[in-house]
Structure 1
Amino acid sequence: MRVIVVGCGRVGSELAVRLTAEGHDVRVVDRDPKARRRLPAGFGGRFLSGSGYSRTVLQDAGIEHADALVAVTSGDNTNIVSARTAKETYRVPLVLARIYDPRRADIYRELGIPTIASVRWTVHQLHQMLLHRHLTPELDFGNGETLLMRSTLPGYLDGRRLSELEVDGEIRIVEVTRGGRSFLPTPSTPARPGDLVTFAVAATALGRLRGFLDKELGT
């Protein structure tokens, strides 16, 4: 996966290092050339100096072929412009952004850009969202400890009780959309092909939820 990380501060650098260690193609963009020092000497990705919303810089970073862009600079304005440019101009499939002022959360939400607010959870949740991108984050609560996620159920679950996907204290189904109509499931509601399910899930349980939904593929 090719990921462009805009912002090489503590969060951006740590996320970039983690992703490159896992074999992903990572391009880091920061306005300050000295920010490169936050990356280890053996960093396997690329570092580019320049504005995170400059089309020239983003094109040099390979945004036209990027799978994801993460905007984690120290400024909300820069993050939102970078995120919007990636999403609206280059149609990057997955765009995530960090936000400092919670009053601006609605702006990102209206644009369909998931946001992360807490310093403590930022790296963990960005990393999880990148790896679990078939789960669509709708909303987060508190400091991001709980997320609202949506996913279309795989065919192998047809006929199984939806309650089998729930785990006390970790995963709870809160809504199902079937045939364009939304309803609240009961413990005995069976899964049907094409069900779009909304999960309330602990951030630390994203891997477990992915395991349920990827079981058919053996991943």
Structure 2
Amino acid sequence: MRIVITGCGRVGSALAAQLARESHDVCVIDREQSARRRLPLGFPGRFQVGNGFSRSVLQRSGIAHSDAVVAVTSGDNSNLVIARTAKEVFRVPTVLARVHDPRRADLYEGLGIPTVADVTWSVNRIHQMLLHRHLLPDVTFGNGETLLVRSAVPAYLAGRRLSEFEVDGEIRVVEVTRGGRSLVPGQTTTAAPEDVVTFVVAARCLHRLRAFLGKELGT
């Protein structure tokens, strides 16, 4: 993915580093050159000095060809302007913003801009929303390290034991909804067409679950 991150504070720098490690094309914008020091040595992405709400700065970042924009500056007003510009002017497919004042979250949501809050939780949540949109968690635990995720079972997996979907220490099947009724599966319970399965999954392993289910999800 081509991702533009505006704001190189704790959230922006941590998110940029994680995405770069996963070989995404990342451009980070911050108005202070000194913010570059927050990125790891050898950071393979680009760093651009400027105000993220400036259209010319955004254009130089390559926003016109980006897949996602993440607004995580220190100001809610700036994040809103950046997010709206990315969404309404440049038509970026995925736009996310950090909100510092929870009372403003409804304003963002009313404009169709998903929001996140808090530092550690924000990095995990933004990462999930960017890369695993089909598997957004119903519940998160701790700082987002463990997730509760529900997904329909792809047709090609029907007839297989649900225990085969598990990976020790990473993915567990904890519930199945079948025909409107919920059940706790046993070791020999097999998947049926139209089952909805609840997984407990380590956030760092969400990509593995996504790959397993991806054929049906089209991701």
Same fold flag (TM > 0.5): yes
Whole-angstrom CA distance in 1 between matches of 2:33 and 2:89: 26
Contact 1:4 1:70 in 2 (8 A): yes
Whole-angstrom CA distance in 2 between matches of 1:99 and 1:9: 14
SS in structure 2 of the partner of residue 29 of structure 1:
strand
1:148-171 Cα offsets, whole Å, 9 max, x none, are 9897875536799xxx99933xx7
Q: Percent identity?
A: 59
Change (3 A) 1:203 1:80: farther
1:86-133 Cα offsets, whole Å, 9 max, x none, are 111111111111111111111122222221112221112212222213
SS in structure 2 of the partner of residue 167 of structure 1:
strand
Contact 1:144 1:203 in 2 (8 A): no
Q: What residue in structure 2 maps to residue 79 of structure 1?
A: 79
Q: What residue in structure 2 maps to residue 15 of structure 1?
A: 15
Contact 2:173 2:197 in 1 (8 A): no
Change (3 A) 1:93 1:41: same
Shift of 1:216: 5.3
Change (3 A) 1:211 1:114: same
Whole-angstrom CA distance in 2 between matches of 1:52 and 1:151: 36
Contact 1:28 1:47 in 2 (8 A): yes
TM-score by length of 1: 0.71
Structure 2, unpaired ranges of 5+: 166-171, 184-191
1:12-53 Cα offsets, whole Å, 9 max, x none, are 111111211221110000111221122234111111111111
Structure number with larger C-alpha Rg: 2
Amino acid corresponding to residue 21 of structure 2 in structure 1? A
Q: Does 1:95 align with 2:108?
A: no
Whole-angstrom CA distance in 2 between matches of 1:85 and 1:198: 38
The root-mean-square deviation of aligned C-alpha atoms, in Å, is: 3.8
Match of 2:182 among 181, 187, 197: 187
Structure 1, unpaired ranges of 5+: 174-183
Shift of 1:198: 11
Amino acid corresponding to residue 27 of structure 1 in structure 2? C
Contact 1:9 1:73 in 2 (8 A): yes
Change (3 A) 1:116 1:133: same
- Residues 158-197 of structure 1 aligned to structure 2 (within 5 Å): 167-168=173-174, 185-187=180-182, 191=193
TM-score by length of 2: 0.71
Whole-angstrom CA distance in 2 between matches of 1:153 and 1:167: 12
**Runs of 4+ residues deviating >6 angstroms:** 139-144, 146-153, 197-203
Aligned length: 202
Whole-angstrom CA distance in 1 between matches of 2:143 and 2:46: 29
Q: Does 1:26 align with 2:26?
A: yes
Amino acid corresponding to residue 24 of structure 2 in structure 1? H
Contact 2:3 2:26 in 1 (8 A): yes
Whole-angstrom CA distance in 1 between matches of 2:41 and 2:92: 29
Q: Does 1:6 align with 2:6?
A: yes
Change (3 A) 1:119 1:8: same
Whole-angstrom CA distance in 1 between matches of 2:123 and 2:30: 17
Change (3 A) 1:43 1:155: same
